[in-house]
Amino acid sequence: MKKKLKYITHVLLFTLLGNTIKSIKILFFLLFVFIITSLKPASALDTTESFSPGILTEFEGYYICDWEYETINRSEEFLLGGGITEKFSYYVTFAFGQEDEEHSSTIKTIGGIGLGLVWTAVEINKNFAIDLLPFFSFESNKISDDQKTVKPNFKGFSYGGSIEFNCMMLEIIQPYFLAGYTNYHNSSQGSDNNYYDDPFEFPLSAGILFKIKEGVDVLAQLDWTPSEDNKKWVETNRSVVIGLNVMLSENLEIILDYWDDHLIHTHKNWGIGVGAILAL
């Protein structure tokens, strides 16, 4: 009986190890594919959920592009994550970017390595949830001599967190609210090669998720970002965001969104985003 139990234990351990190695291989293969195909991701409109338990159970890639006056900004982000428990997850992010100004050179941004946690601190009968989202990231702040590349020198960083309230009492309409705080340390390089702290920000978001049918959601969200230098409502950056989230399969979700901030003030700044979430 003992030998049989020992054999079963070994089989389970080798199976678990094999699945973990397989997941890691799949994860790095997907990351490689995303990089070589030049997918340029960034955060798209979605609510927050903890990841499935496991070392690596979540892969996300986002692309975002916005137009402001004569400048086109492209930003990108990859996310690798896993669940420590069902309600407590971790993630690592890698961010990139590119800024193209008309009649000017292109500036590329390399870096933006981040760490974060997703903790569903409160959940009541699947009807109400509060998520806590602390994070830390290195900022790309060192400008190259030719003024064309910005990369991290690992002296500039940001930290902060946010709290998300979700109400799921109604199946069709689900309101949510986000309140955050971000502090920047030595994240901007001046012309004299000295580094300065950017103003801290406390972004706020209020939105509603509409369930059109099984696996298809539409989101409408209002964002505004007060900062240390810009606290008045009339002077605060604000935007309206519309998103479409579609589950293509049990493990793959596609996220599309469009935002515009000259709907509520005079700036002509608008953009589009696309994201993919793959549960491993």
CATH fold of the domain at 41-279: Porin (2.40.160)
Tens digit of pLDDT at every position of the chain (280 positions):
544 444 444 444 445 545 555 555 545 444 443 333 333 334 568 888 899 999 999 999 999 898 887 788 888 899 999 999 999 999 999 988 888 876 667 888 887 789 999 999 999 998 999 999 999 998 888 888 777 888 888 888 999 999 999 999 998 999 999 999 999 988 877 666 677 788 888 889 999 999 999 999 999 999 888 887 766 655 567 788 999 999 999 999 999 999 887 666 656 788 999 999 999 8
Distance CA 253, CA 245 (A): 7
Closest CA to 225 of 203, 205, 199: 203
Distance CA 141, CA 109 (A): 9
Cα 198 to chain centroid distance, Å, stands at 21
Distance CA 15, CA 21 (A): 10
**Residue 194, pLDDT score:** 73
Angle at CA of residue 229, ends 223 and 233, nearest 5°: 40
Residue keyed to tokens 């986002």: 62
Cα 55 to chain centroid distance, Å, stands at 19
Distance CA 220, CA 223 (A): 10
pLDDT tens digits for range 185-233: 888 776 666 777 888 888 899 999 999 999 999 999 998 888 877 666 5
**Residue 36, pLDDT score:** 32
Q: What is the token pair recorded at 227?
A: 């900062």
Distance CA 138, CA 151 (A): 10
